[in-house]
Structure 1
Amino acid sequence: MHTAYGMSKAALDAFTVNECSRLAKMGIRINNLNPGPVRTFIAERNLPEMSDEKKQVSLDKSWEYWNNCTPLGRVAEPSEMTPALLLLAGDEAGFVTGSKWVIDGGATCFANEMSLYN
């Protein structure tokens, strides 16, 4: 599950970079928003499946783990993605194209020693 998900995200990043030149000639900007952990109903549904079946990790324990995966100590709310999306879609970002925006509360730069699934 993690491999396929990671590959799909990497494919979107590559698609964004590779299509940027072609689309720019038509006046179209393309950018990719890469959120970190976000509290959504999809996450609620999938979190227990991400754990090892033998460990029977609860949803609360899964959220606790993800909260500790960011320097901010919490996951994002969906509304926290909105400002970036509105900026990218608006005229204020008219010169922004082919970029990857990581909005993950610092998770990609945070070395977390805690492990729920190992």
Structure 2
Amino acid sequence: MVTGAGAGFGKAAAEKLASEGASIVAPDIDASALGATLDTCRRLGAKVVGGCHDVSSERDWEQVLSKAECEFGKLDGLINNAGYMLTKPYLQTSLDEFRKIHRVNVESIWISVQAAYSLLKKGASESPGGSASVINVSSIYGQVSGFAQSAYCATKGAVRMLTKSQAVEFARAGDGIRVNSVHPGPGNTALAQTGIAQMMAAGMVASEDEALTFLRTLIPAGRFAEAEDIADLMVFLCSDASRYFTGAEFTLDGGYTAL
């Protein structure tokens, strides 16, 4: 299951997993955006289930997981990819804005792993490698501070530590559920475009070109991450080749945090 599968990292991960022979549960809050993802997965021969899904809604999680159970009976992997970015100075960010981003970025993962636990445990028990994989998408801004992203940093830092706590509990329980976090740097996605638009709206930069030039100077590799860069890692973490990885954080940032 890949949340936020309609675009960006989620779309690339769903399609890459389908190309590797996986069956896919691919919801998104924007159901209209899912069409291309579902079509591609089906052309690749995958059985796929989609639908509209608000990751901050317990009711929506119950519905989508019920559908997954009816179709597949288990989950071998859960990629908590859906997220929301807010690029706005701390002193200008309201409590309501902070609560909104927290609901989407943190509470969604709190809800999802609890709700999917029984299906993941069943997936682990039936897996040749003896495990099921949860991947929580954080950000490099859960590791280092971002430019006018105090709310976003706070939530992605929470995802980082929630991941480690989940991983330790499940490993000690011996239930076979592995949990790791992925920390992308700035990506060539709609989410990054939204962040740039927010920077311009807050008067932090005068143009999109100025924002892009500034951000690229922070990346030694000289470019933003492509969705496929992140999807390849997600496929690895869903596979039995990563069976001993749990509680780890994987940074994909073109050297951003190495400076």
Instruction: Give the TM-score taking structure 1 as reference length.
Output: 0.84
Q: Identity percentage over the alignment?
A: 28
Find 1:65's aligned residue among 203, 210, 214.
214
Please tell me whether the aligned partners of residues 36 and 104 of structure 1 are also in contact (alpha carbons under 8 angstroms): yes
In structure 1, the residue corresponding to 2:155 is in which secondary structure?
Answer: helix
Cα distance in 2 for partners of 1:78, 1:6 equals 21
Query: Does structure 1 residue 41 correspond to structure 2 residue 190?
Result: yes
Q: Choose which of 158, 161, 169 in structure 2 pairs with 1:22.
A: 169
User: What is the rounded CA distance, in whole Å, between the counterparts of 1:79 and 1:68 in structure 2?
Assistant: 22
Residues 46 and 54 (structure 1 numbering): CA distance in 2 closer, same or farther, change over 3 Å? closer
Q: 1:35 to 1:44 in 2, by over 3 A?
A: same
Q: CA deviation at 1:54?
A: 3.9
Deviations 1:55-83, CA, capped at 9 Å, x for gaps: 55211221121121111111111111111
SS at match of 2:177: coil
| Partner in structure 1 of residue 240 of structure 2 | 91
User: In 2 relative to 1, CA 31–50 (structure 1 residues): closer, same or farther, beyond 3 Å?
Assistant: same
- For the Cα contact (< 8 Å) 1:48–1:57, is it kept in 2? no
In the alignment, which of 157, 161, 169 is matched to residue 10 of structure 1? 157
Contact 1:68 1:74 in 2 (8 A): no
> For the residues of structure 2 that align with 1:42 and 1:88, how far apart are their CA atoms?
23
Match of 2:249 in 1: 100
| TM-score under structure 2 length normalisation | 0.40
Question: Which one-letter code corresponds to 1:4 in the other structure?
Answer: A
Alignment partners' CA distance in 1, 2:205 and 2:217: 19
Q: Which amino acid aligns with 2:221?
A: L
Aligned equivalents of 2:168, 2:244: Cα separation in 1: 13
What are structure 2's unaligned runs of at least 5 residues? 1-87, 89-148
Match of 2:225 among 62, 72, 76: 76
Pick the structure with greater CA Rg: 2
The one-letter amino acid of 2:150's match is T
Match of 1:113 in 2: none
Following the alignment from structure 1 to structure 2, what is the Cα–Cα distance between the partners of residues 23 and 102?
23
RMSD over equivalenced CA pairs, Å = 1.6
Higher RCO, Cα 8 Å, sep 6+: 1
**Runs of 4+ in structure 1 displaced over 3 angstroms?**
51-56
The 3 A distance-change label for structure 1 pair 52 and 45 is closer
